[in-house]
Amino acid sequence: MSERLEDELIELLGPQDFIRLVEAYGGERRYIPKSETGTEIAGKLGEEVARRLAKRFGGDEISIPLARTFRARHYRAADLNNREIARRLGISVNGVEKLFRRRPSARPPRRRQADPRQTDLFGSPGN
């Protein structure tokens, strides 16, 4: 899927409504009606989202992106673990780990507290 369309949809709808769009229709080619009222999209995502889509794409068919990397980052920011992210994206936990290795998160990984009983194997000499 074109990253340009993904970026355009994020700008048009905002991150939250974009996530709702791809969760509902990701991976599908959808005809966007010129009129937003009474459409399936309006029923699922609300009249305002349907209106914005109709204004920009009305009368066209677009391929709704899966946006897995964007969604994975969004879910990670919401403190979901890799298993929960994998379930929402419909991929394996290994697939989630690969997404984050390919495009590292802006947020650093959480570090666990060191067990005070454990010795430091890589500490400076003399410690």
Enumerate the domain spans of the chain.
3-63, 68-102
Mean pLDDT of the chain: 87
Q: Helix/strand/coil (H, E, C) string of 10-38?
A: HHHHCHHHHHHHHHHHCCCEEEECCCCCC
Q: What is the pLDDT of residues 81-109, one digit of tens each?
A: 999 999 999 999 999 999 988 865 444 45
Hey, what amino acid is at 5? L
Residue 1 has what pLDDT? 42
Q: What is the pLDDT of residues 17-48, one digit of tens each?
A: 999 999 999 999 999 999 877 789 999 999 99
Nearest partner of 85 among 23, 3, 10, judged by Cα: 23
Supply φ then ψ for residue 115, to 5 degrees. Answer: -75, 125
Q: Are 99 and 72 in contact (CB under 8 A)?
A: yes
Q: Are 64 and 21 in contact (CB under 8 A)?
A: yes
